[in-house]
């Protein structure tokens, strides 16, 4: 068998139908909102990579520190022969896991909505590890997955703190669908950003160089290009606020003055009052008790908990 297989479980036009539905629904309700997944076209993914190198944006470095220190323990605890990575993107931090799991590792199953991210990452990996089976899945992992029949035990990794971009009800559904993928002996490795002082959190989402502002406004460029919109990013301000009750950061786009955005392909005119905001992202921050409870509610048991030296970010290992 060839060491690389790619399975598409997304219709090629699924993304555009979903974008239409999300924009129509999100911009005709009050308060307005857009799902964060639409940030990530080629430009948005580039901006996100840039964010991960900003001095204010600590989560990527903190998670890399944990993986570098703990990958051997993770490998020993799981003995995984298949590594599944949800939202794998460029698979950069996964190298620590793959290196620690080899030579017992048979298969790497990266799952992402972006086919180009998957093939690029797979090529790089296969060049280094020609014996490894790479079975890439183009899929929306929030919708439940059929995994290939590669050998167990399986380790399912969901890194980067991306679970924080789901709302609490979505997290429950997501964790249950992960639980449903696991057999006895399999495990979940989950990355979560942690609650900390407001100034550190807000700075991470409102950096001095304005990269996060450009990333936030990129969703307008996506709407303009994909749906024939006429939104002008200069009409909107980037806003990042900490919600201390819900313990999450919200990113919003705030209309600098009253205006209307026309979206040709939706036959839609979206009015904005001066100061009106669109919520574009929630990024929840966690505590150990909350992670344990959410895992338990999905039938998963928190087995190990690791943080970086400064206690900013956590990796959880959970078993079915």
Residue stretches of the annotated binding site for S-adenosyl-L-methionine:
87, 93, 112, 140-141
Query: To the nearest whole angstrom, how small is the minimum distance from the Cβ of residue 5 to ligand AVJ?
Result: 27
- Following DSSP, what letter does each residue of 73-122 receive, concatenated? HHHHHH--SEEEEET-TT-TTHHHHHHHHTTT--EEEEEES-HHHHHHHH
The residue (of 133 and 283) whose beta carbon lies closer to ligand AVJ is: 283
Which of 26, 44, 110, 161 touches ligand AVJ (CB under 6 A)? 161
110 binds ligand AVJ (CB under 6 A): no
Work out the number of other CB atoms within 10 angstroms of the CB of residue 27: 22
- Which single residue is written with the structure tokens 């959410």? 294
| Contact with ligand AVJ (CB under 6 A) among 35, 44, 110, 160 | 160
Residue 4, judged by CB atoms within 10 A of its CB (0-12, 13-18, 19+), counts as: middle
Q: Judged by CB under 6 A, does residue 165 bind ligand AVJ?
A: yes
Q: Does 281 bind ligand AVJ (CB under 6 A)?
A: yes
Q: Of 11-19, 113-121, 146-154, 157-165, which segment contacts ligand AVJ by CB under 6 A? A: 157-165
Which residues is 191 bridged to in the sheet?
315
Q: Using CA atoms, how far apart are residues 291 and 188, in angstroms rounded to an integer?
A: 12
Q: Is 133 in the site for ligand AVJ (CB under 6 A)?
A: no
What angle, 0 to 180 degrees and rounded to 10, lies between the N-to-C axes of helices 288-297 and 168-181? 60
**Candidate residues 96, 174, 205, 272; the one interacting with ligand AVJ per rule CB under 6 A:** 205
Q: Does a cis peptide bond (omega within 30 degrees of 0) precede residue 103?
A: yes
Q: Does 218 sit near ligand AVJ (CB under 6 A)?
A: no
CA dihedral 139, 185, 154, 61 (to 10 degrees): 90
Q: Please state the closest distance from residue 87 (CB atom) to ligand AVJ, in A.
A: 8
Comparing C-alpha atoms, which of 217, 258, 219, 224 is closest to residue 238? 217
Using CB under 6 A as the binding criterion, the count of chain residues that bind ligand AVJ stands at: 11
| Token digits of residue 124 | 């790089």
89 is a contact residue toward ligand AVJ (CB under 6 A): no
Q: Taking CB under 6 A as the rule, does residue 88 contact ligand AVJ?
A: no
Instruction: Indicate the residue among 47 and 156 with the shorter CB distance to ligand AVJ.
Output: 47
Q: Please state the closest distance from residue 51 (CB atom) to ligand AVJ, in A.
A: 5
CB of 107 to ligand AVJ, least distance (A): 25
Decide: is 162 part of the binding site for ligand AVJ (CB under 6 A).
yes
CB 279 within 8 A of CB 254: no
Under the binding rule (CB under 6 A), the answer on residue 212 touching ligand AVJ is: yes
CA gap 82, 104 in Å, rounded: 9
Among 45, 78, 94, 283, binds ligand AVJ (CB under 6 A): 283
Site string for ligand AVJ, 227-246 (x = CB under 6 A): --------------------
Binding residue ranges? 57, 87, 93, 112, 140-141, 165, 205, 281-283
The β-bridge partners of 188 are 156, 318
146 within 8 A of 105, measured Cβ to Cβ: no
Non-local (6+) Cβ contacts of 132 within 8 A are: 3, 98, 102, 105, 106, 107, 108, 125, 126
Q: Is 164 in the site for ligand AVJ (CB under 6 A)?
A: yes
Task: Provide the annotated binding site for L-histidine.
Answer: 57, 165, 205, 281-283
51 binds ligand AVJ (CB under 6 A): yes
Positions in the binding site for ligand AVJ (CB under 6 A): 51, 59, 160-162, 164-165, 205, 212, 281, 283
């Amino acid at each position: 068998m060839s060491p690389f297989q790619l399975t598409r479980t997304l219709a090629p036009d699924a993304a555009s139908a979903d974008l239409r539905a999300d924009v129509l629904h999100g911009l005709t309700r009050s308060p307005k909102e857009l799902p964060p997944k639409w940030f990530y076209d080629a430009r948005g993914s580039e901006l996100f990579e840039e964010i991960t190198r900003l001095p204010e944006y600590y989560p990527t470095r903190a998670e890399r520190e944990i993986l570098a220190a703990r990958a051997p323990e993770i490998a020993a605890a799981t003995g995984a022969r298949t590594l599944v990575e949800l939202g794998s993107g460029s698979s950069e931090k996964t190298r620590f896991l793959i290196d620690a799991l080899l030579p017992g590792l048979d298969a790497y199953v990266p799952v992402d909505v972006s086919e180009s991210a998957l093939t690029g990452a797979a090529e790089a990996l296969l060049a280094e590890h020609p014996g490894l089976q790479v079975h890439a899945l183009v899929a929306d992992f929030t919708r439940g997955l059929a995994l290939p029949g590669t050998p167990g035990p399986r380790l399912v990794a969901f890194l980067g703190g991306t679970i924080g971009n789901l709302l609490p009800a979505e997290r429950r559904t997501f964790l249950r669908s992960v639980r449903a993928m696991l057999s006895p002996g399999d495990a979940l490795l989950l990355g979560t950003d942690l609650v900390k002082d407001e100034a550190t959190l807000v700075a991470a989402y409102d950096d001095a160089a304005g990269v996060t502002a450009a990333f936030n406004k990129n969703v307008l460029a996506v709407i303009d290009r994909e749906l024939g919109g006429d939104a002008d990013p200069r009409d909107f301000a980037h806003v990042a606020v900490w919600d201390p009750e819900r313990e999450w950061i919200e990113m919003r786009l705030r209309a600098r003055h009253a205006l209307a955005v026309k979206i040709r392909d939706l036959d839609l005119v979206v009015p904005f009052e001066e100061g009106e905001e669109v919520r574009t992202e929630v990024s929840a921050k966690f505590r150990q008790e909350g992670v344990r409870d959410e895992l338990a509610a999905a039938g998963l048991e928190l087995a190990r908990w690791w943080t970086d030296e400064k206690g900013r970010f956590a990796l959880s290992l959970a078993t079915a």
